[in-house]
Amino acid sequence: MPNPNRHKCLFILALAAALALLTACAGDVGESEPRGAANPRTTPYPTAQAVPTALTLGAASPRTTPYPTATPSPAATATSTRTPAAVAERQSESALAQQTFAFLERFTSEYSPRESATDQELAAARFIEERLEAMGYDTAIQDFTVERLSSEVAISTSSGVTERIDSLRIALSQAGTASGALADAGAAFAEDIPASGLEGRVALIERGTITFEEKVKRVAESGADAAIVFNNEAGLFGGTLMERSAIPAVAIGRGDGLRLRAMVEAGGADATVSVTKRQAPSRNVIAQKRGAGSGGQTVIIGAHYDTVPDTQGANDNGSGVAALMSIARHVSGESYPFDVKLILFGSEEIGLFGSRHYVETMSEREISNTLAMLNLDVVGSGDSFEAIGEADMTREARRIGAEIGVRVSQSSELSTYASSDHAPFAEAGIPALFLLANDLSRINSPQDDIRHVSPNLVGWSAEIVIALLDWLAAGAGP
């Protein structure tokens, strides 16, 4: 699920004031921006530390050891009589922190950035496939084609000087070229639009507060022929819309945006905005663990592995990939009454292309036989989780969090969180859960590096999904 930006990707909107989840980036990242949040943390997370050697969580599932341990040890003494509070008091670190963080360190150092539908993404896909095969999985690469956009912005002044401004495409922008007088549209609130409208003009918009979708749609409805969104902090950024825009839309840096605003105030300038598109190859990586007498029933666990340009993508979404790889290691040694399918999605950041393609290729029988889809995205920064989606699964995720000592807030309002790879599955009628952590202030920016990822959060996210698998195996799911 398209900095605070597949994709990256809202009841959450109502919950935002209490959780501070949306205010910093709801307008900052378009399709993925509802995942954004301001966070006061300024100190980078430490590198992985020693973790407990065992973890048991009582009667959460029929298994006697529902979670794997970082190092097998006879020290596991917790019993089913432990209360969640007692477990939380004992459990100060994730048992999978070390394992997940070791993968993340290598993944970000050797395979970053992983820009959607590029050779970088392909190299990362091959690495992931090799790691899954080493665990004993039969793997498959599902190829598909995506639309790649490129952008160009040229500014002309009355003195006849023309300059080009560095820009990035906003995913799902309309392709085409438009020229017109540059007009300051503020942050594209309703009150920012001139009473005379923006007919034939190029709207200059400041990022922030409301979604790209709302900003671009509002200026287009006011007559603008193109939209330029400038950053509300230093540097360029990538954004994504939720639907194809009616006009070309691009993003530029804050310094250029403020300079263009000053030109408008000083007498005006003309702008030409071009968005061009081309077809490019991308791919999903798929691994499957067959169940015992599953009858074709399947649980899908997914995470996207691509990034926007010029970032490690450590949180978005190296963290989800690292968690999924630890889950894969655990699942490889277990038997479930259903198949477990692990999918690493490509090209999420430019429009959920990987997950949408996968769902489009599913038969009606496959859809009806899919018990659940569990999506891990941006699970690495902050101090708590959000579990969003099907009510029973989100409730269970919250209970599991209480047992391991991490807060999980729940919401059943999945439709407004359409910016990650669970969304196409939910739209197809498959029960879906989206697990994410609560600090998305650096995603889709150069600041999304491994210093700001918590090993414990990534480990805990894997533990929550493993426990959900046990819960589903016990027949307690949706």
Position 174, amino acid: Q
Beta strands 138-156 and 226-230 are unpaired
The pTM of the full predicted model, rounded to 2 decimals, is 0.71
| Distance separating alpha carbons of residues 348 and 221, to the nearest angstrom | 28
SS3 264: helix
Residue with tokens 């939720």: 242
Closest CA to 378 of 427, 305, 431, 326: 305
Can you give the residue ranges of every domain in the chain?
12-146+280-473, 148-278
| Distance separating alpha carbons of residues 458 and 379, to the nearest angstrom | 6
pLDDT of residue 58: 26
Residue 279, strand partner residues: 147
Let me know: does 37 contact 22? Beta carbons within 8 Å.
yes
**DSSP character for 371?**
E
CATH of domain 12-146+280-473: 3.40.630.10
Angle between helices 455-473 and 391-404 (to 10 degrees): 130
Closest CA to 325 of 461, 204, 226, 121: 461
Q: Which positions of the chain have pLDDT values less than 70?
A: 1-92, 294, 413-418
| Distance separating alpha carbons of residues 198 and 188, to the nearest angstrom | 11
| Distance separating alpha carbons of residues 293 and 158, to the nearest angstrom | 74
pLDDT of residue 17: 37
pLDDT of residue 413: 65
| Distance separating alpha carbons of residues 392 and 389, to the nearest angstrom | 9
pLDDT tens string 300-329: 999 999 998 889 999 999 999 999 999 999
Closest CA to 439 of 420, 422, 417, 454: 454
CATH of domain 148-278: 3.50.30.30
| Distance separating alpha carbons of residues 166 and 140, to the nearest angstrom | 38
Backbone φ and ψ of 268, nearest 5°: 110, 165
| Distance separating alpha carbons of residues 38 and 452, to the nearest angstrom | 14
Let me know: does 272 contact 181? Beta carbons within 8 Å.
no
Residue with tokens 């699964």: 393
Which residues, 6 or more positions from 234, have their beta carbon under 8 angstroms from its beta carbon?
Answer: 253, 254, 255
